[in-house]
Amino acid sequence: MLTIVYSEMGNPYSDFNLLENAQLILDTYQKSDNNLIIMTSTENIILALRVLVSRGKLQYNELCIIFNEHEIYLNSYFELSEWPVGFVDWEQKFLRELIGCKIGKKFKNDKEIN
C-alpha cells in the first residue's frame, strides 16, 4: 500500500515538476515491495498521484491517504472516499473570503451609485 500522510510535519512539494515527483514516489513504492509511507504538507502531490492513478500507473485501491486518523481511499473514478473537515480546505477558505470581499464591495458600490 502506498500511504500518503497529510500533515503539517510532512514534506512540501513544489508545483514545478510535480508529476515527475509523483512518478518518483511511485517508482520508489514499486521498488519497496509495494509498501511505502510518504508524509506531505502540501495537497498538490496528492492530486498529482490521483492523476497518475487515473493514467493507470497505480491501481486506485493501492493508495491510502491519512489525515487526522481518517483513512481516505480512492474509488474507481479516482474520487476520495471522504473529505474530512480541515483536509486540504485552505484554498476553499481563501476563495470564500475573496468572493465575500467581492460581493461586499459590489453591494457597497451599488449602494453608493443609487
Q: Tell me the pLDDT tens digit for each residue of 15-34.
A: 999 999 999 999 999 999 88
Are 18 and 70 members of one domain? Answer: yes
Distance between CA atoms of residues 61 and 30, nearest Å: 14
Q: Stretch 49-54: mean pLDDT, rounded?
A: 95
**How many domains does the chain divide into?**
2
Are 79 and 89 members of one domain? Answer: no
Are 23 and 34 members of one domain? Answer: yes
Distance between CA atoms of residues 109 and 114, nearest Å: 9
Distance between CA atoms of residues 16 and 35, nearest Å: 26
Are 109 and 57 members of one domain? Answer: no
Question: What DSSP character marks residue 57?
Answer: S
Are 31 and 78 members of one domain? Answer: yes
The domain of 78 spans 2-83
- The reported pLDDT for the residue numbered 106 is 57
Q: Tell me the pLDDT tens digit for each residue of 61-113.
A: 999 999 999 999 999 988 888 888 888 777 777 777 788 777 766 555 555 43
